[in-house]
Amino acid sequence: MTDTLETTPSATDTAARGPIPLAPGAARLLIAAGAVGTIASTFLSWTWTPDFPGNLTVYGYPAGLQTLALVAGALTLLYGLTLWNVPGLRQLNPRNATTPIFFAALSAFAVCWFTGIAIAVDLGGLVNLDPGAFVAMAASALPVIGALALPHPAPGHGLRGYLAKPDQPRPRTLTPLVERAIITAGTLLALVVFTYGIGINDDDSETFLGFLLVVVFIAWALIHAGLVDTYATISTRHKGFATTLAFAAAVIFPFTQTNDHNANIGVNILIFATVALGLNIVVGLTGLLDLGYVAFLGVGAYAAALVSGSEYSPFQVHFGFWAAALTGMAASLVFGVLIGGPTLRLRGDYLAIVTLGFGEIFRITVNSLDGDSGPNITRGPNGITQIPDIKILGFNLGDAHNIGGFTLGRFANYLFLMLIITAIVVLVFTRAADSRIGRSWIAIREDETAATAMGINGFRVKLIAFALGASLAGLAGTVMAHVNYSVNPQPYMFAGAAPPNSAFLLAAVVLGGMGTVSGPLLGASLLYLIPEKLQFLQNYELLAFGVALVLLMRFRPEGIIANRRRQLEFHEADQIDIPDQKTLPDEPAVSKAGA
């Protein structure tokens, strides 16, 4: 039988041999044997003491990081079997490419070796490792060696070939029912992954780091296999169905949690994401660099706090939630117009500096309205406290409720409210982006001078974007004030405080993908969840995310979830197919010296 690696059409047909000289058959055996060994090791004890998080001392079933190693080993085995033409697995790697197998193997290798090193460091030496850990570390290295023995992927040599995404065949046309089933499976998988990650204890940073390693490398493998692009294409064809399923998954999430603290994390992620979506109108669609956007969130939060019945408010009024929300939106909108009016005639760095200054002016102002430096309105650094919980149609969101045998706590109630508000903001964003004014924003972003020459009133269009983004931030600020029971000036600075602040909001938009809906949602989730779970990073958040942004700008400047137009702009050189000189016989040859 002819070797599969030599007969199967793939992206590596013309590639050089891998960096490790090994026969293709032996490479396949190494990958399969190493994956099976990794899976088997998860049923052994990895350490003798339960002092390490996850209790890895039990034989017979995996726990903690062993579960992650089991998942990574199983995926490595599946991708290894694609080399053997196992029926039903062909679609996992349509081009029979090397890189998906390599990154799947790296996921198992990373989590096994990270766990072994963490046990040795945390407990004081290699003596604390049981045989299962050594088996896992040795077995997980075999698929990496086998993957490196496979044909080296083009283009070029060395690391670049492994980082370059292989060309993918055109996705097959499936029936609508099958495509909807794929979307449903993908949504359920995303819900399981998110639920597992958010359910990791805040003091169990080792398990969360292992979770991140596995998710990153597996996602990388799926991207290089073309499955992510295929899923995105299918979701685009069934956009309404995919959006409905995503919303349904978010509704199901509180019912999967027994700890209301996880629902609290979900509420704050949605608040952060909603504000990031508002900023995406200003930055992603219109191209205005706003470094003081968090001030609009603060205006909405303070306005709602002043009219929601707090005994520390100088205005003894108690508006209902929707009236308070409209008040917060209106105050932020007015504040946005007041800022945008005199500043939006500026461009680029000048606009960024002015907006940064206005953000600081807001924070200093609310700090000064304490009765000593100015009128007693915001109580200065003490803020406005004891903001009552929201009541909607007699339903108090501050009380626990039983629904279908499930107990939903206070934060779960606010999570449902934020889901409604996030849906409203997403609807506003998409409708505005697809409208005439949205096309004007994009024209301003691409070239303001050309847009103005074509008859677009640049100042008016930018002012509308500023005002709309500010009002959406004010709506999120209204909920945030009630969730936290209080508002104070500390969070409303450019950087340094816990998110949301202006630096993290801007990072969420850039990291997730400017001009998209799901990009800021993903970026906000990552930027809020990672510091929450990795407590030791709290003093180095800006350093960590600065490094992440540098790497992102180098390797994927369009963001994790790219807007198609911006992706083509950032990778314009990759889209130009320079023909081979041999295909142009009528053209005179140009020597290097002449060139």
pLDDT tens digits for 424-438?
999 999 898 888 998
Lowest mean pLDDT among 60-64, 333-337, 462-466, 566-570: 566-570
pLDDT tier at 576, thresholds 50, 70, 90? very low
CB neighbour class for 459 (10 Å; exposed up to 12, middle 13-18, buried from 19): middle
3-state secondary structure of 389: coil
φ/ψ of residue 462, rounded to 5: -70, -35
Q: How confident is the model over 294-329, as pLDDT tens digits?
A: 899 999 999 999 998 888 888 888 888 889 999 999
Contact 415, 257 (CB under 8 A): no
Instruction: Tell me if 351 sits within 8 A of 272, measured CB to CB.
Output: no
Residue 270 has pLDDT above 60, yes or no: yes
Summarize the confidence of residues 322-341 as an average pLDDT: 91
Average pLDDT over residues 72-86: 90
pLDDT tens readout for residues 578-593: 344 333 333 333 333 3
Segment 221-234 mean pLDDT: 88
Whether 102 shows a pLDDT value over 60: the answer reads yes
Q: How confident is the model at residue 564 (pLDDT cuts 50, 70, 90)?
A: low
Quick one: 499 exposed, middle or buried, by C-beta within 10 A (0-12, 13-18, 19+)?
buried
pLDDT at 218: 94
Among 261-275, 303-317, 400-414, 527-541, the least confident range:
527-541
Return d(Cα 260, Cα 200) in angstroms, integer: 13
CA–CA dist 161, 404 (Å, integer) = 53
CA distance 298 to 306: 12
Q: Do 75 and 107 contact (CB within 8 A), yes or no?
A: yes
For range 402-419, the mean pLDDT: 85
List domains and CATH numbers for the chain: 12-167+201-236 (1.20.1440), 266-558 (1.10.3470)
Model confidence at 412: pLDDT above 70: yes
pLDDT at 144 over 90: yes
Sign of CA dihedral 433, 507, 269, 472: negative
Q: What is the pTM of this model?
A: 0.84
Task: Give how far Cα 465 sits from Cα of 284, 352, 438, 441, 470, Å.
Answer: 11, 15, 9, 8, 8
- Which of the 8 DSSP states describes residue 589? P
Considering the chain, what is the average pLDDT of its residues? 84
Instruction: Say if residues 505 and 553 touch (Cβ distance below 8 Å).
Output: no
pLDDT band at 77 (very low <50, low <70, confident <90, very high): very high
Task: Evaluate if residue 87 carries a pLDDT over 70.
Answer: yes
Strand partners, 401: 408
Count of other CB atoms within 10 angstroms of residue 458:
18
- Rounded percentage of the chain residues whose pLDDT exceeds 70: 90
Given this model, what pLDDT does residue 50 score? 87
Weakest mean pLDDT among 81-90, 155-164, 448-457: 155-164
